[in-house]
Amino acid sequence: MKKVILPLTAVALAFFTSFCLAADDSADARAKKIAGDFFQSYSRTFASGNAEALSAHWKSDGEIVDAEGMRTLGRAAIEKTFADFFANNRGSKITIELLSAKPEGEDVIVAEILPKIDPPISKSICQAGAMAVLVKDAGGKWLIEGVREKDPLPASYGHLKQLEWMVGDWAVNAKKAENVIFSVHCHWTENKSFLICMYTAKHLDVVRHGTQVIGWDAKEKKIRSWMFDSNGGFAGGLWEKTGNRWKIDMSGLSPEGEIVKGTQILAAVDADTFSFESTNRSKGGEKTADVPLLEMQRVKSQLPHEKSGG
């Protein structure tokens, strides 16, 4: 009999584990359905411009904490806030994207949401979303206990996020490059207003380091970058996109004060590969050697974890 007990125990344990996982999945699905229905109702009420009806979605002691840390406490205060908003923003609508919803017991759901107001109330920021806590009252009605907004992202992030694939660590495919070492570490600034790419390049016995800052040029309505080389030179240029290729016509000055020019081309191949080349290079009006096509591959970071912001 003892020989039978262990297998039967293992079967029972496996069944119990699978049952718990299925129950967890079911609870998550239920929470997502409840939260989804709740925020659809909230959006419809918002579109009506009725501050009293909208505030009824909140607990009597509910609160809002905005991105600057300012608190609006209590349903009455929340109603007044919405009444003031609707008075100055007639016809406004809101869509609420539900990013996640997790149950915390039977009567609490923690949801991550991305609200978007139309028309936007500010062109200077890109909303970063919020965390909302829903609770079920004694009558079985779901209400908002609290909402905490995340720090708003700058509008420039909305334009730069198409380059988010660059974030991480990259190294040249050594099998496809002779006598060349090229590595790049790219990360966001704290609030995602710029991308910072630090590079190391070695060809034969020459080693150079540099930093590239990538931002949004609001006047030109294009992405712009600035490069600073360890030898004292610098250059900048606007980015043009065609398909998956980015072309940057760079111009700047060498450490000696001579005009330097060149065209950089980046192309995303897949999530872990991109190509890089630099052509049409010149210094002081005289042509210099191009940087041939290099294949860059994503590698595991060797640097301490950095905050990405947002």
Q: How far apart are CA 129 and CA 132, in angstroms?
A: 10
Secondary structure (DSSP) of 139-206: TS-EEEEEEEEPPPEEHHHHHHGGGGGG-EEEEE-GGG-SSEEEEEEEEE-TTSS-EEEEEEEEETTE
Instruction: Please give the chain's pLDDT, 310 residues, in tens.
Output: 444 444 444 444 444 444 444 555 788 999 999 999 999 999 999 999 999 999 999 999 999 998 878 999 999 999 999 999 999 999 999 999 999 999 998 899 999 998 988 887 765 556 678 999 999 999 999 999 999 988 777 889 889 999 999 999 999 988 877 777 889 999 999 888 999 999 998 876 778 899 999 999 999 999 999 999 998 999 999 999 999 999 999 999 999 999 999 999 999 999 999 999 999 999 999 999 888 889 999 997 554 444 444 4
Say what the pTM is: 0.60
In the chain the domains, ranked by start, together with CATH numbers, are 2-151 (3.10.450.50), 158-299 (2.40.128.20)
